[in-house]
Structure 1
Amino acid sequence: MPDTSYLLSAVALCASITWSLRALPFAVLAPLRTSTTVDYLSRHMPVGVMVILAAYTLRAITPAQLTVTGPALAVTLALHLWRRNAVLSVLTGTALHVALTTLLAHN
């Protein structure tokens, strides 16, 4: 069994490494708050990511699937352009898509 000083030094070393790793993001974040590059990316990347995800999702859609996906996509896009709220538009579009899929699948 290791002696007490060895165990205490091991615990102190682990605690200091853990504290340092948790503090590191805050130390790195401070200079990034005034960065023009980060400001530019924070304004333009969400739109770019959403366009890529939408194109990837719609790449293999068939005309038969458009009866469900088309209205849901149109409502999502219109709601987002009107309210500028991504959460609202995505949740509404998803709910409409699920509702249309359920209604049309049972008919």
Structure 2
Amino acid sequence: MNTTVHAVLVILIASACTILTRIAPFLLFGRKKELPGIIKYLGSILPSAIMATLIVYCLRNSISIQPLRGIPEIISILVVILLHIWKRNTLISIAGGTAVYMVLIRFVFV
């Protein structure tokens, strides 16, 4: 198979899968007035579970016996928590924590 044809097929299949996953909830639950209980349960549990998984994934290499290893991450996490408690704005919390982390790893903990 030609490389160009293969690339186009991959893009088309990936696009179709993306579109299908985006419209599937509307096709499955669009006409019902009440969502099933399991969907409500997953909607309340999954955001926290996904965030916890992302935190563990991001911090998996930060634990070390080297001195000062992981301190920028800990400080940034504290900044995110404090900003979120103070402002209750996810965008400000994430942007502030990211900015603090970048300053720390580029200028403080070089």
TM-score range, shorter chain: 0.5 to 0.7
Q: 1:91 to 1:32 in 2, by over 3 A?
A: farther
Instruction: Quickly say closer, same or farther: Cα 1:85–1:38, change in 2 above 3 A.
Output: farther
SS in 2 for 1:53: helix
Unaligned runs of 5+ in 1: 1-20
Distance 1:59 1:82, change over 3 A: same
- CA pair 94-81 structure 1, distance change in 2 beyond 3 A: same
Number of the residue aligned with 1:7: none
- For the 8 Å contact 1:32–1:38, the answer to whether it is kept is no
Aligned residues: 84
> Judging changes above 3 Å, is the alpha-carbon distance between structure 1 residues 32 and 44 closer, same or farther for their aligned structure 2 residues?
farther
User: Who is 2:29 aligned against?
Assistant: 29
CA apart distance, 1:59: 2.2
Choose between structure 1 and 2: higher helix proportion.
Answer: 1
Give the TM-score normalised by the residue count of structure 1: 0.61
Answer yes or no: is the 8 Å Cα contact 1:76–1:92 preserved in 2: yes
Q: 1:56, 1:96 → 2: CA distance?
A: 20
Instruction: Return 5+ residue gaps in structure 2 as ranges.
Output: 1-19
Greater gyration radius = 1
Task: For residue 100 of structure 1, report the CA deviation from its aligned partner.
Answer: 1.3
SS in structure 2 opposite 1:64?
A: coil
**Percentage identity across paired residues of the two chains:** 26
Matched ranges for 1:88-103 at <5 A: 88-103=92-107
Residues 98 and 36 (structure 1), Cα distance of their counterparts in 2 relative to 1, 3 Å cut: same
